[in-house]
Amino acid sequence: MMKMSLQIGVNIEAYSIEDNGNLQFNVYIYNVQDGIVIDYKTGESKLKN
């Protein structure tokens, strides 16, 4: 398994308890940005050519 200096993404999960889960979600958000190249192994980033 490759060791990463920067996470590829994050999982966000929520459940509203005051209304028995009327609002609930579980999503994975990728760590990406248009126009940027990210090296997750080193944590370095640069503008895309």
Q: What is the DSSP string of 6-34?
A: S-SEEEEEEE-TTTTTSSEEEEEEE---T
The predicted pLDDT at position 30 comes to: 96
pLDDT of residue 2: 72
Q: Which of 4-8, 9-13, 29-33 has the lowest mean pLDDT?
A: 4-8
Q: pLDDT higher for 27 or 5? A: 27
For range 1-29, the mean pLDDT: 92
Enumerate residues 6+ apart whose C-beta is below 8 A from 20.
Answer: none
Torsion angle, alpha carbons of 19, 21, 32, 1, to 10: 140
Q: What are the tokens at 6?
A: 């920067």
Identify which of 27, 32, 26, 25 has the alpha carbon closest to the alpha carbon of residue 8: 32
